[in-house]
């Protein structure tokens, strides 16, 4: 028995000497050291003297970390809830034995760490609105003060909400249609809502910044609002919505042109003529009675509009709109083109829009009508 102990001691000394020799060589690399230690540890299993050698070379601590990593489960059940146009809340299933979780978000083609959390939820903040984002999560354990990670979860694709729509207005009204327009924002499309029978109903969608609601009843009030929509996944068709815009209201016109329509047309044509009178606006100080009857070009325009009549002014032609005409918008477009033509022909004057109501007809039209002049 004494002989065997001495023999073991000799073998231990020989092995220790061998290891010290290896340790003293600068050219020996860590991988060679660990391989040697592993071989020697295997050889010494029967002697009971392998543990000090293995511990010295950190063999079993590395093996332990590897085993711990293999035991960290993969995150599953990753989902999200879009809270606003800048926040997304992620949630996932708990991984047994995990110390915590790391959240990653894709940017410029690669996944970057966002944060660590011990919870199974995390809210990502300060994101751009109406933007598609991709996330992954993985669990970790702490082993000897180091984080040991499990596998990444599957990628989760979602998006932030668009910002609220702005600038909604009624751009035109007819007897059977109303056209809406608004300011462009980042989104996939816009949804249009109409207030019908006490509730808001979606009536259409568009990728543009205008929408015309048709087949309406004449002389009826309608209310509308819109909101922007962002799709986060084309396959799943998950949609994210911005807040509703303000509400706009409009009343459809009569199915025949009314005096109110004519007055509105005259005001629109007058503003258009003032806009086109560029020569007058640039040279108004040279005109007669400047500083006495008017001080600004706007006062000059007003004076001419109040004093000009077919009897004391010149005009190229007279145009009529019959009382049974239905589409005032088409007539307005025609008259704007006529104003363009008049200024192109003679641009150093201001054309006054003059409208005369003729219930018994006009010399150029025997039917009840309105006569339209462009006086100068």
pLDDT at residue number 32:
47
Rounded CA gap, 99 and 206, in Å?
48
330 in the same domain as 278? yes
pLDDT tens digits, residue range 110-161?
Answer: 999 999 999 999 999 999 988 889 999 999 999 988 999 999 999 999 989 8
Greater pLDDT, 13 or 162: 162
153 in the same domain as 82? yes
Q: How many Å from the N-terminal Cα to the C-terminal Cα in the chain? A: 134
148 in the same domain as 92? yes
pLDDT tens digits, residue range 14-29?
Answer: 444 444 554 444 444 4
318 in the same domain as 353? yes
pLDDT tens digits, residue range 62-94?
Answer: 555 555 555 799 999 999 998 988 999 999 999
pLDDT at residue number 145:
87
Average pLDDT over residues 90-99: 95
294 in the same domain as 244? no
Count: domains in the chain: 4
Percent of the chain at pLDDT > 90 equals 62
Asked if residue 335 belongs to a domain, the reply is: yes
152 in the same domain as 194? no
Asked if residue 199 belongs to a domain, the reply is: yes
Asked if residue 62 belongs to a domain, the reply is: no
Asked if residue 67 belongs to a domain, the reply is: no
216 in the same domain as 198? yes
Range of the domain at 288: 259-375
281 in the same domain as 230? no
Assigned token pair, 152 = 């990444």
Asked if residue 265 belongs to a domain, the reply is: yes
Q: Is residue 350 left, alpha or beta, with left meaning phi > 0 and alpha meaning psi from -120 to 50?
A: beta
- 293-317 b/e (C-beta count within 10 Å ≥ 16 → b): ebeebeebbeebbeebeeeebebee
Asked if residue 244 belongs to a domain, the reply is: yes
pLDDT at residue number 232:
67
Averaged pLDDT score across all residues of the chain: 83
pLDDT at residue number 50:
36
- 98-121 b/e (C-beta count within 10 Å ≥ 16 → b): beebbbbbeeeeebeebeeeeebe
Say yes or no to pLDDT of 314 above 60. yes
Strands 132-143 and 146-149: antiparallel
Percent of the chain at pLDDT > 70 equals 77
182 in the same domain as 111? no
Say yes or no to pLDDT of 356 above 70. yes
Say yes or no to pLDDT of 350 above 50. yes
173 in the same domain as 266? no
pLDDT at residue number 288:
54
Average pLDDT over residues 261-288: 88
Domain termination residue (choose one: 251, 268, 283): 251
Asked if residue 188 belongs to a domain, the reply is: yes
Domain harbouring 105, CATH code: 2.60.40.10
pLDDT tens digits, residue range 220-234?
Answer: 999 999 999 998 665
44 in the same domain as 109? no
Three-state SS for 284? helix
Domain termination residue (choose one: 159, 179, 213): 159
Three-state SS for 156? strand
Domain termination residue (choose one: 139, 159, 179): 159
Say yes or no to pLDDT of 341 above 60. yes
Say yes or no to pLDDT of 162 above 50. yes
Greater pLDDT, 116 or 56: 116
Say yes or no to pLDDT of 100 above 90. yes
Assigned token pair, 338 = 């006529």
- pLDDT band per the 50, 70, 90 thresholds, residue 33: very low
Asked if residue 63 belongs to a domain, the reply is: no
Average pLDDT over residues 197-226: 96
121 in the same domain as 211? no
């Amino acid at each position: 028995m004494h002989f065997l102990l001495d023999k073991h001691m000799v073998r231990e000394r020989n092995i220790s000497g061998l290891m010290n020799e290896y340790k003293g060589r600068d050219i020996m690399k860590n991988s060679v050291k660990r391989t040697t230690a592993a071989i020697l540890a295997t050889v010494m299993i029967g002697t009971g003297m392998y543990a000090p050698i293995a511990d010295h070379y950190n063999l079993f601590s590395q093996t332990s970390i590897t085993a711990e990593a293999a035991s960290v489960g993969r995150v599953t059940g990753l989902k999200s809830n879009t809270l606003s146009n800048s926040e997304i809340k992620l949630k996932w299933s708990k991984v047994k034995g995990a110390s915590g979780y790391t959240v990653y978000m894709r940017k410029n083609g690669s996944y970057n760490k966002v944060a660590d959390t011990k919870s199974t939820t995390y809210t990502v903040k300060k994101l751009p609105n109406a933007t598609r984002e991709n996330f992954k999560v993985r669990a970790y354990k702490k082993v000897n003060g180091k984080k040991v990670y499990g596998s990444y979860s599957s990628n989760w694709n979602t998006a932030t909400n668009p910002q609220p729509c702005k600038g909604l207005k009624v751009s035109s009204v007819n007897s059977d249609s109303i056209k809406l327009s608004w300011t462009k924002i980042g989104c996939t499309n816009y949804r249009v809502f109409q207030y019908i029978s006490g509730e808001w109903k979606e009536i259409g969608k568009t990728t543009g910044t205008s929408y015309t609601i048709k087949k309406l009843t004449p002389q009826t009030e309608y209310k509308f609002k819109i909101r922007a929509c962002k799709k986060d996944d084309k396959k799943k068709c998950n949609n994210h919505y911005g807040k509703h815009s303000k509400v706009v209201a409009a009343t459809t016109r009569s199915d025949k042109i009314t005096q109110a329509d004519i007055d509105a047309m005259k005001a629109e044509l007058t503003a258009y003529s003032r806009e086109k009178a560029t020569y007058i606006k640039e040279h108004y100080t040279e005109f007669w009675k400047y500083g006495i009857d008017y001080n600004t070009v706007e006062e000059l325009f007003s004076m001419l509009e109040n004093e000009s009549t077919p009897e004391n002014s010149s005009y190229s032609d007279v145009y009529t709109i019959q009382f049974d005409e239905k589409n005032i918008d088409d007539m307005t477009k025609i008259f704007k083109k006529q104003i363009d033509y008049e200024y192109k022909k003679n641009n150093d004057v201001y054309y006054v829009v003059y409208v005369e109501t003729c219930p018994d007809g006009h010399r150029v039209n025997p039917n009840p009508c309105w006569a339209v002049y462009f006086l100068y």
